[in-house]
Amino acid sequence: MKKILLVMLLAAWSGLCIAHTQGDEAAVAHSADQALPLKSIQFGPYKITALHDGDMALNPAVFDQNFSQQEVQAIFQGQSADPVKPMQTSVNAFLIEDDLGNLTLIDSGAGNCEGNHRGAAVQQIAAAGYKTSDVGTVLLTHLHPDHVCGIENQTKAVFPFATVYVSEKELSYWLSENTLAHLTADQQAQCTSTAAQIKAALAPYHQIRSVRTFKTGAVINGIEAVESAGHTPGHVSYQLQYQGRHLVFVGDIVHSANLQFEYPALSVNFDFDPVQSGKNREHFFKNYAAQDSLIAAAHLPFPGIGKIKQNKAGSFEWSPIGSPATPATPATPATPATPAT
């Protein structure tokens, strides 16, 4: 029994540290002056701007958890998904402006951690009419480099007046020496590299004592942290409510609109706990469909905003914003925010 448990833990630790490796994806380059899309919607008093950090082309082979090889093949065939050709998707961050002009950033993109094919979130903030110094709060869904590295550049805080929030469970995992204790040498190297990127990203904020942790259920700037562990141990989603409506920033609970809405139990091999990830995905999809919630996802095609429709027991459908099922709401013009102190 102990041996089985150790094998399960090794697999989980390895998956957590892998995140998105070069073997998992094909690079899609963008130049510094390349125009990337912007999309803003209005949610009650909140203006939501989707920031396109860059593109991602996932290796289809990563979608192999919780089903047999034969079942995975049947899923791909049934969804007319190419089992070899990289799956094109996006890396998205989201900027929230409230009616007082306060700015909250949900995730920050990859910064300089993943080459020149990502890291455009900061220039997207400028393109939307804001300054990085306007951002008063950064909420991180989890600490993978494509979500946290955008807060730092050349050892400096990109958002100098911001307080950075991350779940207590997530931060303690990455800062714990026990994380590497039972890994192989190769796994330790991968985890050490990822942890180093995370620590470097947070370092300038630790120096000015502007990193805060929280437990799930916490409310920050009117935004509730909802536990959604599985992809990482401390992964959270962030929920806005207004007059009975919900908008949820779900982070990495989903990576494929084509596969995981029809088969929510299908997890990627870089989930920390693929079983928990699949169970949570089905649970949240069911709730979001029942509540008619708006969803903002980090790795669905840009802008990653839409709604979930339940078709049958355990099966769902993604309706991106702007489609007939989910019409877009025009946004009001940007209002410059006052820097937080």
Q: Which residue has the higher pLDDT, 123 or 183?
A: 123
Split at pLDDT 50, 70, 90, the class of 191 is confident
Helices in the chain by DSSP H: which ranges?
A: 2-18, 69-78, 121-127, 145-148, 168-175, 185-207, 274-291
Determine contact, residues 235/253, Cβ cutoff 8 Å.
Answer: yes
Q: Which amino acid is at 193?
A: S
User: For the residues 312-332, what does the mean pLDDT come to?
Assistant: 71
pLDDT at 8 over 70: no
Q: What is the DSSP letter of 85?
A: S
User: What is the pLDDT, as a whole number, of residue 6?
Assistant: 36
List C-alpha distances in Å: 213 to 142, 170, 191, 234, 281: 12, 9, 22, 11, 24
Residue-wise DSSP of 229-261: TTSSTT-EEEEEEETTEEEEEEETS-S-TTTTT
pLDDT at 1 over 90: no
Determine contact, residues 105/50, Cβ cutoff 8 Å.
Answer: no
Q: Which amino acid is at 47?
A: K
Residues 6+ apart with CB under 8 A from 322: 328
Q: What is the percentage of the chain residues whose pLDDT exceeds 90?
A: 74
User: What is the pLDDT, as a whole number, of residue 176?
Assistant: 83
User: What is the pLDDT, as a whole number, of residue 328?
Assistant: 52
Q: Which amino acid is at 144?
A: H
Domain ranges of the chain: 2-320
Determine contact, residues 272/179, Cβ cutoff 8 Å.
Answer: no
List C-alpha distances in Å: 85 to 54, 185, 192, 299: 19, 31, 30, 17
Q: 222-239 pLDDT, tens per residue? A: 999 999 999 999 999 999
Q: 38-56 pLDDT, tens per residue? A: 899 999 999 999 999 999 9
Q: 246-255 pLDDT, tens per residue? A: 999 999 999 9
- One CATH from 3.60.15.10, 3.40.50.300, 3.30.43.10, 3.40.50.1370 for 2-320: 3.60.15.10
Q: 46-84 pLDDT, tens per residue? A: 999 999 999 999 999 999 999 999 999 999 999 999 999
pLDDT at 146 over 60: yes
List C-alpha distances in Å: 112 to 6, 52, 105, 312: 34, 15, 18, 42
Q: Which amino acid is at 124?
A: Q
User: What is the pLDDT, as a whole number, of residue 190?
Assistant: 78
Lowest mean per-residue pLDDT among 31-35, 124-128, 153-157: 31-35
With tokens 């084509």, the residue in question is: 258
Determine contact, residues 53/92, Cβ cutoff 8 Å.
Answer: yes
pLDDT at 323 over 80: no
User: For the residues 256-283, what does the mean pLDDT come to?
Assistant: 97
Q: 1: part of which helix (H) or strand (E)?
A: none
